[in-house]
Structure 1
């Protein structure tokens, strides 16, 4: 039987790396973009991308692409100020790979993203009184595509890129919680796969210490290919503040939520 505390919990989910596997989509588009703007001289590896994101401030993949391009040229002794990088051009190229060349008819990498859970998982949370929603750095169109078209959710609570500053700023997390909360004392669990996600929880706790904030680290598929990499990534998330590390978001059951709130 579910305890009263778990029935009052709010669970907010990141999307990329938690709800869908973006190893062959967002991350592939990021690598394509860096390769294109370095004239095919440098294609970042998945580990290169993870190392950048471990800094905790590169949650936006467009900005991450630009930063890796900058760093490549800086390593070649070309100062940033001498580079003529146009951010909008970088974004447009990235989107041409991720969504496809036609913004009205998506044919890009997004169409092939594996889902990491079943929609019935959310039904299970609802059945025991757990409120849930999404806070993601993905664009609203991209997030809605996976939540509504792929998973079949009906108008879920969602705060996306256009709605709030990027992580680790906690504004978007607060906005999601306020759309779900019945009272200010409900504990909040945020499930994410990056250092920025865990930093967001830490910042939220510092701003609203009267509420319980718990960060749950979810290991994205691309880091689970070897034990060494999985363990290193898990340790990075723990050091960033994760209370627990899970291999898949469906492991965050109502029983596990109950344990976290004790």
Structure 2
């Protein structure tokens, strides 16, 4: 690849770099169950259906929305006295654990979905890479630095940019990656919001090649039917290709996408 055409690959983290089926998603279910007085615990499919709307990338807001939707069958939303900060605090007590300085929660058991050597292979191929995630910076760095051992990775996290599908964070990641000669950008993600982010970036900067790559999170790969339905949802949202694991996005695959 020549310098002018060297692409940048930017990664979402949750569902791409780590499996959050038993962590973030479990914390969503716990939170909704708690604030509906144990009356409703959303299934994995319920959460997928909400996220397929493309605007619920923030899991705290997703939890609140599911609580609202449960109660508004009987009570108008505006009459519900939900306190967002209380919802966030409960969610974090499950995800991180009760002690914010010594994490013992679900985050500690998240399976990794790749090996750090994958990034070394991209670098050797002349491909720049970084991360744009809706996770908090602390949570993202826990997985990138502590678990994967990456040194000072380029990262734009929840605190740094508006929530997806707003592409502001995607542009910020590109800037942090350094010299920009309008290289092609590939963004990998596991949700509709991730693919919408690419579509919105293309509208703002049409002179650049933008490619959305869908990654199937582990929880949707348990049955063929669910896997195929989820893949089709990502394609309809704009994914150029849908992969079972991010490590399938090799330098050879990237070259094929850019042809």
In which range does the TM-score fall when normalised by the shorter chain? over 0.9
Rounded Cα–Cα distance in structure 2 between residues aligned with 1:105 and 1:181: 35
Native 8 Å contact 1:27 1:46 kept in 2? yes
Native 8 Å contact 2:128 2:177 kept in 1? yes
**Aligned pairs for 1:199-218 within 5 A:** 199-218=196-215
1:28 to 26, 29, 37: 26
- C-alpha spacing 1:194/1:57, structure 2 compared with 1 (3 Å): same
Cα RMSD of the aligned pairs, angstroms, is 1.0
Rounded Cα–Cα distance in structure 2 between residues aligned with 1:128 and 1:46: 37
Native 8 Å contact 2:13 2:140 kept in 1? yes
**Aligned pairs for 1:44-193 within 5 A:** 44-75=42-73, 77-193=74-190
Native 8 Å contact 2:10 2:185 kept in 1? yes
Rounded Cα–Cα distance in structure 2 between residues aligned with 1:190 and 1:225: 25
Gaps of 5+ in 2: none
Once the two structures are TM-superposed, the CA of residue 100 in structure 1 deviates from its matched residue by 0.1
TM-score (norm 1): 0.97
SS of alignment partner, residue 130 of structure 2: strand
Q: Which residue of 2 aligns with 1:13?
A: 11
Rounded Cα–Cα distance in structure 2 between residues aligned with 1:8 and 1:200: 21
Rounded Cα–Cα distance in structure 2 between residues aligned with 1:16 and 1:61: 11
Native 8 Å contact 2:54 2:165 kept in 1? yes
SS of alignment partner, residue 72 of structure 2: helix
Q: Which residue of 2 aligns with 1:233?
A: 230
Q: Which residue of 2 aligns with 1:258?
A: 255
Dislocated runs of 4+, deviation >6 Å: none
Once the two structures are TM-superposed, the CA of residue 178 in structure 1 deviates from its matched residue by 1.1
Rounded Cα–Cα distance in structure 2 between residues aligned with 1:40 and 1:91: 18
Native 8 Å contact 2:174 2:180 kept in 1? no
SS of alignment partner, residue 187 of structure 2: strand
Per-residue CA distance 1:189-233 (angstroms, 9 max, x = gap): 000000000000000000000110100000000000000000000
Rounded Cα–Cα distance in structure 2 between residues aligned with 1:156 and 1:98: 23
